[in-house]
C-alpha cells in the first residue's frame, strides 16, 4: 500500500449519495503525556481551558465519526467514449461513470443524525475524512455494509493487547471502546512546528480499505497549542493534501460497481491493461516530489529550511508552514512524470482577505445584459437591482421564495461579500430578510455557498448557509437584530455606553440587551451569567436622552462585539460607545 501525505499550514492562505446501514458506536479516548517530563512519564498536561474550574472535571472536545458508503464520480464528467487521447493521458479517464466508496464523515453528536457542515474551507478535503486533533475523546459509528476499523497511525491502542493488532474491526451494530495515549515521541519534537501531521485509516485490510476510501488527516500538537473553544491553531488555516493513486480494482466494492454502473453489454476484461489503467485515479508505494509553484514554504528537519519542493517517500507524512508572499492562483502538483500526467495536481488560491472593492453593480460597470433573473413582477426588471436607484420603479422584484437573480461577472472573480438594499413602494417597505448564495464558473455546474464548517448555521453539509438580508427597524423590530462593531484587532473590552434617540416627539431606546464577542467574525461567544452559565441580560436605557454605563465584571477579549436588543420602548434605537484598551500596553 502506498500512502503519501502532506499537510500545509499557514496564516493568510484561504484558498453523494448516502447508503443506510446498521449503527455501532466506538468511544475513543486520547490522553497526553507531559512534554516537559521524560518519555515514559505518566503525568499529564491539563490546560484549564479543558477543565471545569468549579468541579475540577476535565472536559475534552468530542468527535463523532461515521464510516458511510457514498457514490463518487472523481470529478470526470465526460462519458469515457468522448474522452480524447490527450485528455486521457492527462488523467481524465474512468472505466465506470460512478463508484461506490466508503468515507469517514463527522456528526454533531452521538445520535449521528446531524452531519457537521463542511464549508468552502473544508471542501479541499474531498474524499478525506474530517481533521482529527489528538486532544480529544471520540465516538465512531459504522454505517457501512461491512466491517471497518479506526486506527491512528503510529499511536498505540491499549486494546491491542498482546496480539498487537491495531484497530479491531467494527462490524455493523457492534460497540467497542478505543483508548490511546499520545506520548512525547508521537507528537512534534521541541525543534519542530507546534503541530505534526499524520493520518487515520481502517486496518481490516489496509490496501482494500484505503482504496475503498477510508483515510483522513490526523494532527498531533504540543499541549496548549490548540484554542479551547474552536480546537484550532490561532491564525492558522490548515490544509490537508493526499498524494495517492486510488485503484478501484482493489476496492471492496469493485464487483458491486461493475454490476451497478457498467452499462450492458458490459465488457470488463480484467486481463485488459485498459481495464486497470482506467480504474486508477490520482488524488491531490512510490515517490512524490510536491511542488508549490511560486510559493516557498518552511519545513523542519534538524533546522528550519525554506523550500519550494517537498520530497515524499512511501508511507511518509510531512508538515510545512507557508506565508504566501503573492496573491493569485497557483499550481501545486507532483513533479514525477507519470503521476503528473495522471492528474496529480490542484489549483491553490491566495488572496487578500481585506479586498472588498465594488465590482460595478451600482456604478453600472456591470451592464444590464449581465443581470438575469428567474422571473420578475411587472416592470420591476432584473437590471434595476442596483443600489441607491432613483425613480418610482427602482429595484428588481421576484414572485416568491423560488425566485433568483444572477450576475455574470464575465471572468472568474473572487467574491468577499454582497450588499443588499430594499425598496419602498406604495407606502410599503419591501425587502429580503434571508437569502442563500450559489456560484458557478460555467452556468452549468452550481455550488451552494455553505461558509466555514465552524460558523455555518446549516445542519447538513449539503444545506446552504442562510444570510441575513435587510431589516426595517422602524416597522419590524424583533429580537433577532444586532449592532456589530469591528475594533480592528483584538482588544480588552471593559464595558459599553448606550443611548437612545428621539424621532419628532417619540422616544426610542433599548432597555435590555445581550452581548456576543468574536475574535475572527465567524465564531461567536455569548457573555454568560457566572453562576447559571445562561446568557447574561444587561440593563440598557430608561431615558432616551441619558447615557447608560454598563461595565463587564470580567473583561472581554475580542475584535468584534455585537449588541443584541432584547427589550425596547417604541422602536429599537441605539447609540453606542465601547470601552477598553489594547491587550498589551506599553508605558
pLDDT digits (tens, 9 = 90+) for 420-431: 888 877 777 888
pLDDT confidence tier of residue 4, bands split at 50, 70 and 90: very low
Q: Are residues 403 and 494 in the same domain?
A: no
CA torsion, ordered 233, 238, 243, 247, to nearest 10 deg = 100
**End residue of a domain, out of 223, 255, 287:** 255
238, 255, 272 - which closes a domain? 255
- The CATH number for 109's domain is 2.60.40.420
Of 516 and 292, the structure prediction assigns the larger pLDDT to 516
Stronger pLDDT, 582 or 142, i.e. the higher one: 582
Domain count, the chain: 3
**Rounded CA separation 461/451 (Å):** 10
DSSP 453: T
Is the model's pLDDT at 57 over the cut of 60? no
At 518 the pLDDT is: 92
What is the extent of the structural domain holding 124? 59-255
Which residues lie across from 179 on neighbouring strands? Answer: 29
Clarify whether residues 421 and 563 are in a common domain. no
- Assess if residue 402 is contained within a domain: yes
Q: Are residues 138 and 233 in the same domain?
A: yes
Question: Which pLDDT score, from 0 to 100, does residue 499 have?
Answer: 93
Q: 11-25, 143-157, 517-531: which has the minimum mean pLDDT?
A: 11-25
25 has pLDDT over 80 = no
Residue 198 has pLDDT above 70, yes or no: yes
Q: Is the dihedral of CA 378, 383, 384, 386 positive or negative?
A: positive
Q: Within a domain: residue 221?
A: yes
Q: Which residues contact 299 (CB under 8 A, 6 or more apart)?
A: 305, 307, 310, 318, 319, 320
Please check whether residue 403 lies inside any domain of the structure: yes
- pLDDT above 70 for 33: no
Q: Measuring CA to CA, how many Å separate 495 from each of 295, 515, 564, 581? A: 43, 10, 15, 11
Residue 476 banded pLDDT, cuts 50, 70, 90: low
**What is the reported pLDDT for 477?**
63
Q: What is the pLDDT of residues 263-310, one digit of tens each?
A: 777 778 888 887 887 788 776 645 678 888 888 888 876 677 788 888
Predicted local confidence at residue 31, as pLDDT: 45
**Which helix (H) or strand (E) is 435 found in, with range?**
strand 434-435
* pTM, entire model: 0.65
Give me the torsion for CA of 434, 438, 443, 446, rounded to 10°.
-130
pLDDT mean over 488-504: 90
> For the residues 511-519, what does the mean pLDDT come to?
93
CATH, residue 528: 2.60.120.260
545 found inside a domain: yes
- Of 36, 47, 53, the residue nearest 226 (C-alpha): 47
Q: Which of 438, 471, 504 is the last residue of a domain?
A: 471
Using 50, 70 and 90 to split pLDDT, how confident is the model at 397? Answer: very high
- 193 and 250 both lie in a single domain: yes
CA separation for the pair 3, 215 (Å, rounded): 10
Of 19, 2, 1, 3, the residue nearest 256 (C-alpha): 19
Contacts of 250 (CB under 8 A, 6+ apart): 207, 208, 211
Whether residues 363 and 431 fall in one domain: yes
What distance in Å separates the CA atoms of residue 239 and residue 284, rounded to the nearest whole number? 11
Residue 408, pLDDT score: 95
Both 448 and 492 in one domain: the answer is: no
CA dist., res. 459 & res. 407, Å (int):
28
Residue 562 predicted with pLDDT over 90:
yes
Residue 260 lies inside a defined structural domain of this protein: no
Task: Give me the pLDDT at residue 14, please.
Answer: 29
- Residues 104-128, mean pLDDT to the nearest whole number: 83
Q: pLDDT at position 512, please?
A: 93
3-state SS, 283-326, equals ECCCCEEEEECCCCEEEECCCEEEECEEEECCCCEEEEEECCCC
pLDDT of residue 157: 62
pLDDT of 536-561, one tens digit each?
999 999 998 899 999 998 899 999 99
Confidence of residue 311 (pLDDT cuts 50, 70, 90): confident
Whether residue 372 has pLDDT greater than 90: yes
Find the mean pLDDT for residues 228-232.
67
pLDDT bucket at 463, cuts 50 / 70 / 90: low
230-248 mean pLDDT: 82
Residue 262 domain flag: no
Whether residue 343 is contained in a domain is answered as: no
Residue 467 shares a structural domain with residue 502: no
What are the beta bridge partners of residue 132? 218
Q: CA-to-CA distance for 468 and 478, rounded, in angstroms? A: 13
Confidence of residue 141 (pLDDT cuts 50, 70, 90): low
221 shares its domain with 138: yes
In this prediction, residues 91-100 reach a mean pLDDT of 76
The pLDDT value recorded for residue 485 is 93
Closest to 519 (Cα-Cα) out of 568, 583, 570: 583
Average pLDDT, the chain: 76
- Shared domain for 430 and 489, answered yes or no, is no
| Phi and psi, residue 86, nearest 5° | -65, -40
Question: Cα–Cα distances in Å, from 354 out to 121, 295, 329, 357, 416?
Answer: 17, 20, 17, 9, 9
pLDDT over 90 (residue 73): no
Q: What share of the chain is helix, strand, coil (3-state, %, to 5)?
A: 10, 35, 55
Q: How confident is the model at residue 100 (pLDDT cuts 50, 70, 90)?
A: very high
Average confidence (pLDDT) over 191-214: 88
Same domain, 433 and 495: no
Do 112 and 238 lie in one domain? The reply is yes
Whether residues 430 and 506 share a domain: the answer is no
Q: What pLDDT score does 316 carry?
A: 81
**Taking 60 as the threshold, does the pLDDT of residue 145 lie above it?**
yes
* Cα gap 99→75, rounded to integer Å: 11
In a domain, 4, yes or no: no
Least confident of 63-77, 372-386, 390-404: 63-77
Amino acid at each position: 500500500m502506498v500512502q503519501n501525505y502532506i499537510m500545509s499550514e499557514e496564516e493568510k492562505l484561504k484558498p453523494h449519495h448516502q447508503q443506510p446501514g446498521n449503527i455501532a458506536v466506538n468511544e475513543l479516548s486520547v490522553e497526553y503525556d507531559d512534554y516537559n517530563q521524560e518519555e515514559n512519564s505518566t503525568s499529564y498536561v491539563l490546560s484549564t481551558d479543558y477543565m471545569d474550574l468549579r468541579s475540577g472535571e476535565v472536559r475534552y472536545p468530542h468527535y463523532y465519526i461515521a464510516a458511510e458508503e457514498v457514490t463518487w464520480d472523481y470529478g470526470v464528467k465526460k462519458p469515457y467514449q468522448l474522452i480524447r487521447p490527450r485528455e486521457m493521458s492527462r488523467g481524465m479517464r474512468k472505466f465506470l461513470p460512478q463508484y461506490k466508496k466508503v468515507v469517514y464523515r463527522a456528526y454533531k453528536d452521538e445520535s449521528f443524525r446531524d452531519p457537521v457542515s463542511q464549508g468552502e474551507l473544508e471542501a479541499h478535503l474531498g474524499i478525506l475524512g474530517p481533521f482529527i486533533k489528538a486532544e480529544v475523546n471520540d465516538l465512531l459509528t459504522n454505517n457501512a455494509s461491512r466491517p471497518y476499523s479506526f486506527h491512528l497511525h503510529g499511536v498505540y491502542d491499549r486494546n491491542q493487547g498482546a496480539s498487537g493488532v491495531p484497530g479491531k474491526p467494527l462490524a455493523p451494530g457492534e460497540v467497542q471502546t478505543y483508548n490511546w495515549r499520545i506520548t512525547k515521541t508521537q507528537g512534534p519534537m521541541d525543534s519542530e512546528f507546534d503541530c505534526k501531521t499524520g493520518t487515520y485509516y481502517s486496518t481490516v485490510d489496509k490496501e482494500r480499505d484505503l482504496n475503498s476510501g477510508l483515510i483522513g488527516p490526523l494532527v498531533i500538537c504540543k499541549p496548549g497549542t490548540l484554542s479551547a473553544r474552536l480546537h484550532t491553531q490561532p491564525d492558522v488555516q490548515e490544509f490537508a493534501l493526499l498524494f495517492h493513486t486510488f485503484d478501484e480494482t482493489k476496492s471492496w466494492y469493485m464487483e458491486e460497481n461493475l454490476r451497478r454502473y457498467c452499462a450492458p453489454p458490459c465488457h470488463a476484461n480484467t486481463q485488459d491493461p485498459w481495464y486497470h489503467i482506467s480504474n486508477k485515479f490520482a488524488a491531490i508505494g512510490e515517490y512524490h516530489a510536491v511542488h508549490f509553484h511560486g510559493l516557498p514554504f518552511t519545513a523542519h528537519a534538524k533546522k528550519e529550511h525554506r523550500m519550494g519542493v517537498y520530497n515524499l517517500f512511501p508511507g511518509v507524512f510531512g508538515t510545512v508552514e507557508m506565508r504566501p508572499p503573492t496573491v493569485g492562483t497557483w499550481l501545486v502538483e507532483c513533479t514525477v512524470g507519470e503521476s503528473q500526467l495522471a492528474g496529480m495536481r490542484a489549483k491553490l488560491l491566495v488572496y487578500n482577505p481585506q479586498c472588498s472593492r465594488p465590482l460595478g453593480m451600482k456604478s453600472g460597470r456591470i451592464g444590464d445584459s449581465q443581470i438575469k433573473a428567474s422571473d420578475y413582477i411587472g416592470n420591476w426588471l432584473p437590471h434595476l437591482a442596483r443600489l441607491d436607484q432613483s425613480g418610482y420603479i427602482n429595484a428588481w422584484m421576484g414572485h416568491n421564495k423560488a425566485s433568483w437573480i444572477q450576475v455574470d461577472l464575465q471572468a472568474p472573480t473572487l467574491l468577499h461579500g454582497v450588499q443588499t438594499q430594499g425598496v419602498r413602494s406604495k407606502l410599503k417597505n419591501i425587502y429580503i430578510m434571508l437569502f442563500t448564495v450559489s456560484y458557478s464558473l460555467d452556468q452549468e455546474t452550481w455550488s451552494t455557498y455553505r461558509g466555514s464548517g465552524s460558523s455555518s448555521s446549516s445542519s447538513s453539509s449539503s444545506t446552504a448557509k442562510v444570510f441575513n438580508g435587510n431589516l426595517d427597524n422602524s416597522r419590524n423590530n424583533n429580537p433577532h437584530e444586532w449592532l456589530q462593531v469591528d475594533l480592528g484587532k483584538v482588544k480588552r473590552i471593559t464595558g459599553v455606553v448606550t443611548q437612545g434617540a428621539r424621532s419628532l416627539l417619540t422616544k426610542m431606546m433599548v432597555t435590555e440587551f445581550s452581548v456576543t464577542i468574536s475574535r475572527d467574525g465567524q465564531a461567536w461567544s455569548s457573555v454568560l451569567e457566572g453562576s447559571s452559565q445562561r446568557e447574561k441580560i444587561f440593563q440598557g436605557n430608561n431615558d432616551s436622552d441619558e447615557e447608560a454605563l454598563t461595565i463587564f465584571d470580567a473583561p472581554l477579549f475580542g475584535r468584534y462585539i455585537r449588541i443584541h436588543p432584547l427589550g425596547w420602548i417604541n422602536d429599537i434605537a441605539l447609540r453606542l460607545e465601547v470601552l477598553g484598551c489594547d491587550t498589551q500596553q506599553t508605558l
